[in-house]
Amino acid sequence: MWGCLVALVGLFFLVRWYRERQVVSQLTDKYVFITGCDSGFGNLLARQLDMRGLRVLAACLTEKGAEQLRRQTSDRVETVILDVTQTESITAAAQWVKEHVGDRGLWGLVNNAGISVPSAPNEWLVKQDFVNMLNVNLLGLIEVTLNLLPLVRKARGRVVNVSSVMGRLSLFGGAYSISKYGVEAFSDALRRELSYFGVKVAIIEPGYFKTKVTSSEIFMRSFGELWDRASSEVKDLYGKKFLETYIKSTKSMEQKCTEDLSLVTDCMEHALTSHHPRTRYSPGWDAKLLYLPLSYMPTCLVDTLVYWLYPRPAQAL
């Protein structure tokens, strides 16, 4: 009985390994559009795909980021300035992509652009804080996708959306987890809708990696600004010690972040180049061994763990 079960599991992983090793042909003729290429995952992916011979259309937020990327890559990489919160910018970038890909269509769309602050207890925030992050992490992703879908469908290509383990498990306040839960929902619906047209959609759910998005310096600056504008009631409820402990835990988290960004970009590359990409990729030891298992555990156990790990407000019961 157990021997048959082990054999079936082994056969499953063997078949999956074989299928996932099959690579799409004529990669050098395929165009991939990537958002958020100034730094981090997007920047590394652009350079990685360039080395594979793909034609990369890299969207950067700043001209400085675009210049640096062009210096690091071949002439197969072309850049465009894109602010995913501005409809005019997205429309112009979509037209630019259309002019480059022509009748071939767009093989790959990688929605990578994102921000992580402000993230803090919800009571420290105002509606605009949520709106600002949703505009980048979710609504911008949706609008870019909708503008480029006709080109992706023409190529029967791929859409790769960058979510997070925080799209499975919400551990702190603010719009970050909200936006990533939204990315998961949008991607799931999109995958089913586009499967009729031969388009595949993959979700990348990284754990904590050391990028500008997870920089403790950015979080500390954000915490300070939020604390300064907080009402006297909120400050009394939480206390200065809570803020100091929160900052300390953020610094500690950054030290534990995985530094090898290629663990994420390898998943993105596989989603773009494999004949049989996975629906979800969860790069990072913390994603696989901690956050994803936690997301399947009973809520009471997860709550207990969070209460134990995170600082307590000064006036907590």
Whole-model pTM: value is 0.92
The helix (run of H) or strand (run of E) holding residue 214 is: none
Q: What pLDDT is recorded for position 9?
A: 72
Q: What confidence tens digit (pLDDT) does each residue in 186-196 have?
A: 999 999 999 99
Residue 291 vs residue 13, higher pLDDT: 291
Concerning whether 291 is annotated as a catalytic residue, the answer is: no
pLDDT-wise least confident of 4-8, 135-139, 287-291, 295-299: 4-8
What average pLDDT does the chain have? 91
Mean pLDDT, range 137-153, rounded to an integer: 98
Nearest-5° angle of CA 277, CA 75, CA 31? Answer: 30
Q: What confidence tens digit (pLDDT) does each residue in 62-103 have?
A: 999 999 999 999 999 999 999 999 999 999 999 999 999 999
**At residue 8, does pLDDT exceed 80?**
no
Q: What pLDDT is recorded for position 17?
A: 67
Q: What confidence tens digit (pLDDT) does each residue in 29-39 have?
A: 999 999 999 99
Rounded Cα distance between 277 and 266, Å, is 12
Active-site annotation holder among 31, 176, 208, 246: 176
Q: Which residues contact 174 (CB under 8 A, 6 or more apart)?
A: 117, 118, 119, 120, 122, 125, 129, 130, 133
The helix (run of H) or strand (run of E) holding residue 111 is: strand 108-111
CATH of domain 23-211+258-309: 3.40.50.720
Q: Which residues contact 56 (CB under 8 A, 6 or more apart)?
A: 31, 32, 34, 46, 49, 50, 73, 76, 77, 78
Which tokens belong to 90? 């997205």
Where do the domains of the chain lie? Answer: 23-211+258-309
Task: Identify which of 124, 91, 291 has the alpha carbon closest to the alpha carbon of residue 219.
Answer: 124
**At residue 305, does pLDDT exceed 80?**
yes
**Percent of the chain whose predicted confidence (pLDDT) is above 90:** 70
Which tokens belong to 178? 């909200």
Q: pLDDT-derived band of residue 264, with 50, 70 and 90 as boundaries? A: very high
Rounded Cα distance between 2 and 19, Å, is 26
